[in-house]
Structure 1
Amino acid sequence: MPRYSIVVPIFNEEATIPELYRRLCSVLDCLDGETELILVDDGSRDQSLLLIRELHERDERVCYLSFARNFGHQVAVTAGLNFARGEAVIVMDADLQDPPELIPRLVNQWQRGYQVVYAQRTQRLREPWFKRLMAHCFYRVLYHLADVEIPIDTGDFCLMDRRVVDLLNAMPERNRYIRGLRAWVGFRQTAVLFDRAPRHAGNVKYTFGKSLALAINSLVGFSKVPLRLSTYLGLAAAAVSLLMGLLVMYWRLFAPNSPLTGYTIITVVVFFLGAVQLISIGILGEYVGRIYEEIKGRPLYTLSEVGGFQTHTARRTVFRPEKSPHSTQVTSERDGNG
């Protein structure tokens, strides 16, 4: 069994895969144990899967999973963790903004007894100021609102001990936020600081919409504050309505010619109350939607191809309730590479 597993989710990264593999190889040769490199193709529409197959044929350390369609970054990381066999599992992105050269420092902290070693960004080089500002605000809002202490300015780039990975694999959540789950399990955790480099090549995969969806998912998944917020908004609306009622009575009795006694003030109050109601319904909808996703019981992903795992086969996904909700069940279908 390998001592180290490196999980890399990939989506349309044909321009970065050769350089990623070259830099990873220079690092893997320096580690003190056997290593497997798990590349998870998240339904890429370019030549990424073809390049991954070629790497697998050239290097027995390269294993890969190929989704039947695009399921998202967090699900791809989850699939890699499901298949990882190493004593220590490293998760990193394929765009080389997570430098492979940092892996030995992560391993060094793990060997000192830390079960989770996460890479913490000190700078975001050559990123737009608006993105840096939004990321800065998001991590600090999440830090103060979450029920657990999720480290500031950290992504999915980390090393996790086998015990932590087994716990994550046993968790039934379907809306996965790996860095939050990683903080929730506890154990000894520490940070390794680094400057986040710009993307090596290709286009940014985490668009504003995807980043916003991930932010909402993290807040809903690890905080009950939004639910309380709807309560606070309701109380504030009630207080404002009471105040406006008293003011209208005052104006009717003592200032009947005031322009504020007409339809304008009534319209403003109606719109205000309507906004509060819609916000509250939206917040409740986010939580109800998560409940709906959980009770459907569908597997997190389906695999079209698997290569390099001697104890696994590529298969259709068949969900059985007694198994983990995001596990895959083996059928007799085997691909030619596995």
Structure 2
Amino acid sequence: MPDQSIVLSVVCPFFNEEEVVDFFMEKIHQVLNTLDLTYEIVCVNDGSLDRTLEKLILAKKSYPNLRILDFSRNFGKEAALTAGLDHARGKVIVPIDADLQDPPELIIDFIEKWREGYEVVVGKRVDRSTDGLLKRMTAQLYYRFHNKISNQKIPENVGDFRLITRRVVEAIQQMPENQRFMKGIFAWVGFNTCVVAYKRQKRRAGKTSFHGWGLWNFALDGITSFSTVPLRVWLYIGSLIALISLVYGSYIILRTLVFGVDLPGYASLLVSILFLGGVQLMGIGVLGEYLGRIYLETKHRPQYIVDKEY
């Protein structure tokens, strides 16, 4: 529930971030103390296997406005972010990662834009030189591909780092889906939005928990959450193959009538069977991806379980 005495809630998911906890706490408080408003920091420990929770509890002794949500296990960043939004009590909420690649100083600019009347202030990474070349290229391709096939566009190079008002949070809470893609959800709810550009920094300490396979699955979640084009495209692929088969079949009939019957080619027949089998399996795979999402949603399981709150 919102607390009228708290203006700003900073929400930060943690997963195996013991090396960065002290740096994050020092930096975020240094920035927030320059603001003339009351604030809280909601840290969500997403089932960390290292000393992250221990260090967060220790930090709470020095920073009494720190709140810690400890999950019963690892539920993933999207669930951790959702929990942070659900438990935040401020009038405005700023999600931020613990690695300090998104500069906390930008929160000052976010607050200024909010005071100008904006309900959503997003941080856009105009310089991602600290990320690897492969990561930058794949991210750019993903944003372009997603926005081509989805009715809901996601701003390019915009992550979870943003300011949103209580009204936006309440709109997000009306969305009941369990399998959540927060970047798409943030964009879907809309509201009066402005952009603040910034340069992405190097990770302050520790290592990222996102790697190639995890990012690929994350991208699939984003595509299947906000687009049915991957399903529809198989109608066109099937129609095209049927048309090609009709044309080729007409050619064979015509050739047979004119030149007679010749020995059929077993190699071409084998290639055709394998090709069509592969296409069918791909179509079933795409259908299975959507069916799996429906299956998980029908269970109505909670998005997360909070074991303890400190």
Q: What TM-score do the two structures reach when normalised by structure 1?
A: 0.86
Aligned to 2:286: 283
Q: SS of the residue aligned with 1:50?
A: helix
Q: SS of the residue aligned with 2:108?
A: helix
Q: SS of the residue aligned with 2:105?
A: helix
5+ residue gaps, structure 2, are none
Alpha-carbon offset, residue 92 of structure 1: 0.8
1:183 counterpart = 2:198: no
**Alignment partners' CA distance in 1, 2:259 and 2:112:** 76
Aligned to 1:165, which of 144, 166, 169? Answer: 169
Alpha-carbon offset, residue 71 of structure 1: 0.5
Aligned to 1:155: 159
Structure 2 CA distance for partners of 1:251 and 1:262, relative to 1, 3 Å: farther
The one-letter code matched in structure 2 to 1:49 is: L
Structure 2 CA distance for partners of 1:242 and 1:55, relative to 1, 3 Å: same
The one-letter code matched in structure 1 to 2:160 is: D
The one-letter code matched in structure 2 to 1:275 is: G
Aligned to 1:97: 101
1:216 counterpart = 2:220: yes
Aligned to 2:90, which of 80, 86, 90? Answer: 86
Would you say how many aligned residue pairs link Structure 1 and Structure 2?
306
1:123 counterpart = 2:123: no
Q: What TM-score do the two structures reach when normalised by structure 2?
A: 0.94
1:204 counterpart = 2:202: no
Aligned to 1:292, which of 279, 295, 299? Answer: 295
Aligned to 1:194: 198
Alpha-carbon offset, residue 170 of structure 1: 2.3
Contact (CA 8 Å) 1:124, 1:198: kept in 2 or not?
A: no
Percent identity between matched residues is 39
Alpha-carbon offset, residue 44 of structure 1: 0.4
Structure 1, residues 124-159: CA drift from partner, whole Å, max 9, x if none? 123221111100100111122222122111111111
Alpha-carbon offset, residue 246 of structure 1: 3.1
Contact (CA 8 Å) 1:6, 1:36: kept in 2 or not?
A: yes
Alpha-carbon offset, residue 117 of structure 1: 0.9
1:75 counterpart = 2:76: no
Aligned to 1:51: 55
**Alignment partners' CA distance in 2, 1:102 and 1:72:** 26
The one-letter code matched in structure 2 to 1:119 is: G
Q: SS of the residue aligned with 1:181?
A: helix
Contact (CA 8 Å) 2:130, 2:200: kept in 1 or not?
A: no
Higher RCO (CA < 8 A, seq sep 6+): 2
The one-letter code matched in structure 1 to 2:232 is: R
The one-letter code matched in structure 2 to 1:161 is: T
Q: SS of the residue aligned with 1:100?
A: coil
Q: SS of the residue aligned with 2:126?
A: strand
The one-letter code matched in structure 1 to 2:117 is: G
5+ residue gaps, structure 1, are 308-338
CA RMSD for the aligned pairs?
1.7
Q: SS of the residue aligned with 2:164?
A: strand
Aligned to 1:62, which of 60, 66, 70? Answer: 66
